[in-house]
Structures are given as structure tokens and as C-alpha cells.
Amino acid sequence: MIITIAGNAGSGKSTIANFLAQELGFEEYGIGKMRRELARKKGMTLAEFNKLGEKNFSTDREVDQFQEKLGKTRDNIIVEGRTSFYFIPHSLKIFLYVDEREGAKRIWSHLKGGASRNEAINLNSEKDVLESIRRRIASDRKRYKKYYNLDVYDSKHFDFVIDTTNLTLEETKERVYKFVKSQLDPRK
């Protein structure tokens, strides 16, 4: 089984991907991490890299091809990324939603706790994070519409959608794991 996880910023995508990988013994791939590393190698923030991607398809294509290859050559993996469901259409597709203000609050808390992200250079408050999220969504929508005629935030693409806004991390883990287990063994 291949599980793809997408969602809004701050919804818990990476945490849930890591949790499922550990619980199921699957290998985990983080597409956002790959994009951050590509941006870093170019001396850019992720926001700058995404902006470049609005005009230059190559910023997305490398990770898109990587995802396509994963879907064709691997099994028992978790792939966390906004377009992963699209490039691995036979995957079990999960979308984590969070209200943008709650997402910004979570990310800001994470950054204040010492987390490092290369786009965090100009993020000095929760308000900055919220504005960054809004710019990211606009850029994502523009790029993916232009290149694939796709809205990665449209819930109709997913097998399971969960709103994590008012859930604890443990509640989110429990609900996602229960759904995944039901798909692994439909009798449960």
C-alpha cells in the first residue's frame, strides 16, 4: 500500500506521515523537505523557490518525476506532499485540513521552539506566518493550475479528509490510523 498525505500548512502532515510510517513500518518521503533542500541549494527560501516556479516549471518537475517513479517502483511507503495524490493516483489519499489561523499558530509555536525552516528567515510573528501561508497557498494554486490544471486543496481528490483544527494530536493520530487500518483490512 502507498499512502499519500496532503493538507494545509500546520495541519500536521509531517507528524502524521512520520507516525504512520513508524506504526506501519513503511518508509517515509517528505516532498516539502525535498523542495526546501532544492531551494537551499539555489540559495533561496522556499517562498522564493515557489515564486520562481510560477514562471519556471523545473522547480516542480524534479520532485514530480520523483513521486511518479516512487508510485511505479515502490510499495509500503508514505509520501507527504501536496501533489503526491496526483502523481501516485493508486495511493490511499489523505488530506489534513486546518483553519489557517490555527495552522499559523501551530507553525509559530514550532518555530519559537527552535524548529528550523529555510523560509522562516522573515517570520517574526504569528501574523508573519499567516501571511506566509496565504502567499504559499496562492503560489501553489497558481503553479498547479498552470502546469496540471489541478487544485491540490480540493477535498474531492481524497479518500479521507480530516479537520484537525480542534483535535489534539493524539485524536488526529487515532482517527487517521483507524481509517488506514480499515483500508489495510476492510473487516476491521
Task: Compute the distance between CA of residue 164 and CA of residue 88 in angstroms, rounded to an integer.
Answer: 24
**Rounded Cα–Cα distance for residues 96 and 32 (Å):** 15
Q: According to the model, what pLDDT value does residue 118 have?
A: 45
The pLDDT tens digits of the residues spanning 5-44 come to: 999 999 999 999 999 999 999 999 998 888 888 888 989 8
Read off the pLDDT of residues 38-61 as tens digits, 9 standing for 90 and up: 888 989 887 788 788 888 787 788
Rounded to 5 degrees, φ, ψ at 153 are -100, 5
Q: What pTM value is reported for the model?
A: 0.86
Q: Are 142 and 76 in contact (CB under 8 A)?
A: no
Q: Is 58 helix (H, G, I), strand (E, B) or coil?
A: helix
pLDDT in tens, 74-105: 999 999 999 999 999 999 999 999 999 999 99
Which cell numbers in the block locate residue 125?
510573528
What domains are there in the chain, each with its CATH number?
2-184 (3.40.50.300)
